[in-house]
Structure 1
Amino acid sequence: MRILMPVDGSKYSKSSVAFVASRTTLLKTPTEVELVNIQYPVPPRAARALGREMVHSFHEA
Structure 2
Amino acid sequence: MNVADWVVFLGTLGGIAAYGSWRTRQIRSLNTYLKGRRSTGWVTIGLSVMATQASAITFL
Give the strand-richer structure, 1 or 2: 1
TM-score (norm: length of structure 1): 0.28
Please give the TM-score of this superposition, normalised by the length of structure 2. 0.29
Q: Which has the higher helix share?
A: 2
